[in-house]
Structure 1
Amino acid sequence: MTAQAQSELLIADDDPILLGLVAEGLTLAGYRVRQASCGKAALGLCREQAPDLAILDIGMPDLNGIELAEILRRETQVPVLFLTGHGEQIVVDKAMSSAQGMALGYVLKPVKIDSLIPQVQAALELSQHLNGLKCRETQLQDSLSKSHQIDLATGILMERFHLGLSEAEEALRRQARSERRKMADLAAEIIAASDRLKTPLRVQQILLEQEPGGRRRSRS
Structure 2
Amino acid sequence: MTYQALMFDIDGTLTNSQPAYTTVMREVLATYGKPFSDAQAQKTFPMAAEQAMAELGIAASEFDHFQAQYEDVMASHYDEIDLYPGITTLFERLPADLRLGIVTSQRRNELESGMRNYPFMMRMTVTISADDTERRKPDPQPLLTALGMVNVAPENALFIGDSLSDEQTAHAANVDFGLASWGMDPNAEHVHVAHRFEQPLDILELFK
* Range into which the TM-score falls when normalised by the shorter chain: 0.3 to 0.5
By relative contact order (CA 8 Å, sep 6+), the higher-ranking structure is 2
TM-score by length of 2: 0.35
TM-score by length of 1: 0.34
| Structure of greater Rg | 1
